[in-house]
Copies of this chain bind each other. A is one copy, B any other.
Amino acid sequence: MAADRVTLSDVAREAGVSLATASRAINGSADRSVRPELVERVTAAAARLRYSPDATAQAMARGRTTTLGLLVHDIADPYFSAIAAAVVASAETAGLQVSLATTQNDPAREVQLVDLMRRQRARAVVIAGGRSAGSSTEDLAGQLAALRAQGVGVAAIGQPVPGVPSVAVDNLGGSASLARALLALGYRTFALLTGPRQRTTAQERCRGFSDALGAGGGVVIARSETPFTWEGGHAGMLRLIDDGSLHGVDAVVATNDVMALGALAAARERGLRVPEDVALTGFGGISTLRDVVPALTTVAVPMGELGERAVRLALTAEGDVVESVGCDVVVRASTPDLRRR
């Protein structure tokens, strides 16, 4: 810092009060107040000297910062960047700054980052992204519970975390609706690009789809386990095509949008036409879908609403609330009505 910066000591001297009083007048205090006439004298002195209050000192004095920590798997993924945009906007409305960290899908790193935010005395922490079943989620739940015990607001987006206020995506309901919509359009036989087996989100989307399908007379006749990425969908689709698994399949159902985009590219490379040779669907509703041909049928998750609700929950929720956010099936050109053919 420059030597000529005006300090709080300068302000105290100018106002004729002690440093402690000047600090309490300017920065506030968790436990002591200052007489209004002294506050006025100190504020006037600060204005005369063009003193700029130190946000870190203010946070110290008040016992907490104005930071909201946001953890996402990958900020370059359009799903997470749409959520982040909403979190930043909502946090700002609440007078908070967003500290962004990316977990790169590493549960151990997630736990470390939560610990860092605890040490930084964050006002609130919002954690977005799917979980895997098992011990890593228990570690995370423990960390987040410790945070809440310290008075830090916490919320999870996507998958609920035990003991933590959560905004959950209704993956079961959304994928069941997708199954019913496709059955109504005349589709009967399906291949699944499942996503990673251990991911709860992937499991729920597969199960919701398969259960509703079974109830309506449809059947899954092929599946390919894939990472939750463009490359995963691309490789999984190539496998299905090259080993002959797509014979007799009406539609390929991917458990997220970027996988569906990868699958579309793979079909194109093999000379397979979508939807003439096989139909295709995604899950998520990222904006990229409007730019591809054919436009892709998907299950639209309200990403902005997820971000807004999570900030609100983190700042207000007391108990173990789980709010479920519904999804809408959006039928586009990649799944035409088979009954009209």
Q: Which of A11-19, A112-120, A127-135, A200-208 contacts B (4 or more CB under 8 A)?
A: A112-120
Please give the count of copies of this chain that the complex contains: 2
Interface string of A1-14 (1 = CB under 8 A from B): 11001000000000
| A268 touches B (CB below 8 Å) | yes
Interface centre among A54, A76, A97 (most CB of B within 10 A): A76
The count of chain A contact residues (Cβ–Cβ below 8 Å) is: 52
| A102 touches B (CB below 8 Å) | yes
Interface string of A286-320 (1 = CB under 8 A from B): 01101111000000000000000000000000000
CB distance from A287 to the nearest CB of B (A): 8
Are B150 and A2 closer than 8 Å at their CB atoms? yes
A45 to B276 alpha-carbon distance, docked (Å) = 71
| A163 touches B (CB below 8 Å) | no
Chosen A-B contacts, 24 in total, with CB atoms closer than 8 Å, are A1-B151, A5-B150, A52-B119, A54-B121, A55-B116, A55-B119, A55-B120, A55-B121, A56-B56, A56-B65, A74-B85, A75-B85, A81-B81, A85-B102, A88-B101, A88-B102, A89-B102, A92-B101, A98-B101, A100-B100, A230-B287, A264-B291, A291-B291, A293-B293
